[in-house]
């Protein structure tokens, strides 16, 4: 009696069909999908544990990046993969098969976007935890935001295109809107892109003393749009980053040696011996200042404002920040020595006078 019941039930199940397959076939496919889903969940859990162990034994950031991506693997995506695997042996209609493939491909695009977003975020967090350069961290965060937006945009467009949606018109609209937006914010965009160049190329860093055209100051802040300088007189100078990239920046802090050139004017009343003595006195004063290296003194020219004596000395890198103090000590020493030796300075200096000979005036007829 019992055997005949199960035989009758088996005949009923085989006779009952759905979409061309018996209920036993569908139950087998469901069991296969469940088994695949459990295997994928187990692999995900084991991978997470392995990456946790790897991150504990290394200072590198790749285990954390991969673990963040593994944790962002959606259970719905795993379930969909299991369904696709289980449906492979089934003889489905072309329309159903195409629909499953489209849904699976779209889900894959979205899951790749989640993985990429998670890895970008993990990379930024790792860099932020190991970097002491706050300016560079700011730029890296901004770059990560731009990369995330581009990633989601590209993969979303790919998913829409896979579903049969015509994205050509959408891209054309984005293109027109992007051009209009770029024209509207081109100055700001140029400053932001210039900040990337400043942070990664490092023509200067915080604390450097730089000069751009007529502006000189110490770098206090490097932002996405502007860089702030503190001038020697105390005010804050705000310069757009694009100007710093396009301009010629002089970085005084990275100067290996500073060469100082001074010009002295002596009166024509000084005898030749006094001029020769002046050159020796200047050399003695500079050599007496241990932080400066004497390069030379030369009687170079005759000018209407006086005899020209050119002085050159070098201040090494170790004392470059104190060059003003060294220059003052040397100037005071020269002035005192000239006064003691009776060497006279020219009393009037016209630096920008035109001393070219003038043609003789024509006689009036």
Mean pLDDT of 239-264: 84
**Edge-first strand listing for the sheet containing 306-316:** 257-266, 306-316, 293-303
Domains and CATH numbers, the chain: 13-183 (no CATH), 194-251 (2.30.30.60), 257-341 (3.30.70.100)
Phi–psi pair at 256, nearest 5 degrees? -70, -50
Q: Report the range of poorest mean pLDDT among 33-37, 52-56, 288-292, 357-361.
A: 357-361
| Secondary structure string (H, E, C) spanning 143-168 | HHHHHHHHHHHHHHHHHHHHCCCCCH
| Secondary structure string (H, E, C) spanning 255-306 | CCEEEEEEEEEECCCCCHHHHHHHHHHHHHHHHHCCCCEEEEEEEEEEECCE
| pTM (predicted TM-score) | 0.49
Angle at CA 109, nearest 5°, toward 105 and 112? 130
Mean pLDDT of 218-224: 83
Mean pLDDT of 335-343: 91
Q: Report the range of poorest mean pLDDT among 184-198, 214-228, 256-270.
A: 184-198
Q: Report the range of poorest mean pLDDT among 21-35, 215-229, 328-342.
A: 21-35
Average pLDDT, the chain: 78
Strand-strand pairing, 236-240 and 293-303 = unpaired
270: exposed, middle or buried (Cβ count in 10 Å: 0-12, 13-18, 19+): buried
Per-residue confidence band for 19, with pLDDT thresholds at 50, 70 and 90: low
Mean pLDDT of 338-362: 60
């Amino acid at each position: 009696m019992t055997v005949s019941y199960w035989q009758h039930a088996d005949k009923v199940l085989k006779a009952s069909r759905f979409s061309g397959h018996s209920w036993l076939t569908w139950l087998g496919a469901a069991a296969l999908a469940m088994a695949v889903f459990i295997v994928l969940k187990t692999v995900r859990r084991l991978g997470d544990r392995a990456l946790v162990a790897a991150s504990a034994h290394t200072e590198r950031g790749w285990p954390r990046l991969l673990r963040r991506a593994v944790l962002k693997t959606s259970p719905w995506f795993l379930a969909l993969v299991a369904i696709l695997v289980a449906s492979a042996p089934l003889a489905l209609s072309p329309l159903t098969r195409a629909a499953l493939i489209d849904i699976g491909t779209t889900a894959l695009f979205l899951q790749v976007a989640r993985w990429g977003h998670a890895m970008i975020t993990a990379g930024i967090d790792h860099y932020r935890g190991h970097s002491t350069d706050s300016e560079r961290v700011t730029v890296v965060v901004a770059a990560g935001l731009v990369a995330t937006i581009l990633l989601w945009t590209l993969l979303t467009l790919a998913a829409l295109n896979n579903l049969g949606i015509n994205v050509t018109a959408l891209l054309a609209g984005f293109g027109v809107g992007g051009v209009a937006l770029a024209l509207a914010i081109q100055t700001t965009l140029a400053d932001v892109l210039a900040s990337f160049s400043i942070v990664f190329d490092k023509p200067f860093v915080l604390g450097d003393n730089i000069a751009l055209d007529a502006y000189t100051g110490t770098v206090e802040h490097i932002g996405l749009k502007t860089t702030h300088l503190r001038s020697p007189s105390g005010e804050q100078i705000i310069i757009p980053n694009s100007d710093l990239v396009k301009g010629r920046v002089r970085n005084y802090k990275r100067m290996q040696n500073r060469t100082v050139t001074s010009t002295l004017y002596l009166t024509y009343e000084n005898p030749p011996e006094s001029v020769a003595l002046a050159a020796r006195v200047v050399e003695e004063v500079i050599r007496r200042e241990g932080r400066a290296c004497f390069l030379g003194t030369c009687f170079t020219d005759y000018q209407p404002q006086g005899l020209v004596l050119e002085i050159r000395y070098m201040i090494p890198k170790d004392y470059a920040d104190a060059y003003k103090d060294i220059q003052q000590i040397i100037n005071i020493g020269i002035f005192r020595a000239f006064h003691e030796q009776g060497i006279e300075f020219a009393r009037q200096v016209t630096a920008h006078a035109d001393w070219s000979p003038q043609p003789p005036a024509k006689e009036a007829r």
